[in-house]
Amino acid sequence: MLKPLMLVLAGLALPGLANAQSLVEGEHYEVLPEAIETHVDEGQIEVTEAFWYGCPHCYNLEEPLNAWLAETPEDISFQRMPATMGGDWNKHARAFYAAEALGILDAIHDDFFHAIHEEGQRLTDSGDIADFFSDYGVSEEEALQALDSFAVKSRVNQANTRMRTMRLMGVPALMVDGRYLVTPSSAGSLANMPQIAEALVDKVREEREE
């Protein structure tokens, strides 16, 4: 029942937040105590989604988030960052970075979410993940090698460092320009999160023009 409700919220969300000046720090977003380095070209503004494949709220955010991304201007660089809080979170982070290394991330991302939340698959065992990946043009052996690779483990460690710097206690969350953090609580709903992120992008543009 959540998705139909979210569609209603998307149509009603934030009638008073048409621009960056309408945002209130501490109410609609938080400022990170320590800015996080971004990795974008000059003129680009990074928006990062912190998520966990096992999180139902992250799954339900995908629909309004993807709708927003389909309309975002070219100066927005969108990144996904799997949250690393130990256990199954880290196993899913390894799956994310392994899929990225194998060149199949775009193909599997939505399906991986769907398999967990609609089909009841856990996808935390390396063998199960490798079997899942094998439907996307890679062998199970290649998938297992990627899952256990040094490069993937390093990416998981890097994500963990960013998580600590962001001081995240849960997901989903959107981070704009390595400084501004939007959560479901600050946004008022999942459907509002992309809209507040967009207003924060406008805020960053204005700051850069000053």
- The pLDDT score that the predictor gives to residue 21 is 82
What is the per-residue pLDDT across 99-144, written as a single tens digit (0 to 9) for each? 999 999 999 999 999 999 999 999 999 999 999 999 999 999 999 9
Over 50: is that where the pLDDT of 205 sits? yes
Residue 12 and residue 52 in contact, taking contact as beta carbons nearer than 8 Å: no
Give CA–CA dist 152/145, Å, rounded: 10
Give CA–CA dist 158/163, Å, rounded: 9
Over 70: is that where the pLDDT of 18 sits? no
Give CA–CA dist 40/58, Å, rounded: 24
Phi/psi at 88 (nearest 5 deg)? -65, -30
Over 60: is that where the pLDDT of 17 sits? no
What is the per-residue pLDDT across 47-81, written as a single tens digit (0 to 9) for each? 999 999 999 999 999 999 999 999 999 999 999 99
